[in-house]
Amino acid sequence: MSLTMRPGPLAGSPGDEVNFTIDGPKHRLFMHDFPRRVRARFAGETVLDTERGKLLHETGLPPVLYVPEEDVRTDLLEKTDHSTHCPFKGDATYWTVRAGDRAAENAVWGYPDPKPESAWLRGYMAFYWNRMDAWFDEDEEVHGHLRDPFHRVDARATSRRVRVLLDGEVVAESGRLLLVSETGLPNRYYIPAGDVRRDLLTRSEKHTYCSYKGAATYWSLTGAEDAAWSYEEPLEDATKIAGYLSFDHEALTIETQPPPGS
């Protein structure tokens, strides 16, 4: 994401302050080796198993894993009539994955005759991530998507102060914050649970998953649904945010004060 989303160097319009130009099309493709073994399973079958996968970075889009056809169980694939056209890659052919009594329709695509400028896509296939049952990066199951090696999450202690209010009532107030910076996203303040009025919060039914931070639990306030979230068991890149909550909702007022002496 950091390469192909602004201000990344391969975005449609890079950062404002650079001392270089990139010759070539506005829409850019960049493909490079993924360094580890990747497997996907569907209906009890291993559909792909590769140590030769590649990540395709494309302007404005998250990276996509492409794998050599030789590393795919093509005996489980059925070619379909579905096709799409990409002005940068060419015409895509699609396959359905069928195993036992289950089928994942049009779950796989490839470019048998790609455009000359992306000829290196020939012989590779890509999978819709959520149409497989499970994915593994080496021996660890991966939820969400493979991690982009150019994506970062940094959690830093800060002496800034934050107050979160709903209709004038203080919901949280703290000077013991973590400031979380994540590639492509705005900075977020994470507040220790001890500095939050937990009696005002109720656990929501909503859950999301971040490939860099882990499974998020959401919390609601009266009149502000899913106003806060927390990572009760964060992944290794974000272990510091365990026991912290972050707030964002249009009904909330979030007041910030700069660090003392700034």
Torsion sign across C-alpha atoms 225, 194, 208, 2: positive
- Res 223: pLDDT: 94
Structure-token match 């990276």, residue found: 63
The C-alpha atoms of residue 79 and residue 86 are separated, in whole angstroms, by 19
- Res 259: pLDDT: 80
Residue 204's alpha-carbon distances to 75, 125, 192, in angstroms, are: 43, 38, 19
Share of the chain above pLDDT 90, in %: 81
Which pTM was predicted?
0.84
Homologous superfamily of the 29-142 domain (CATH): Domain of unknown function (DUF427) (2.170.150.40)
The backbone torsions φ and ψ at residue 154, rounded to the nearest 5 degrees and listed phi first, read -125, 125
Low-confidence ranges of the chain (pLDDT < 50): 1
Statement: 153-257 belongs to CATH 2.170.150.40: yes
Instruction: List, by residue range, all CATH 2.170.150.40 domains of the chain.
Output: 29-142, 153-257
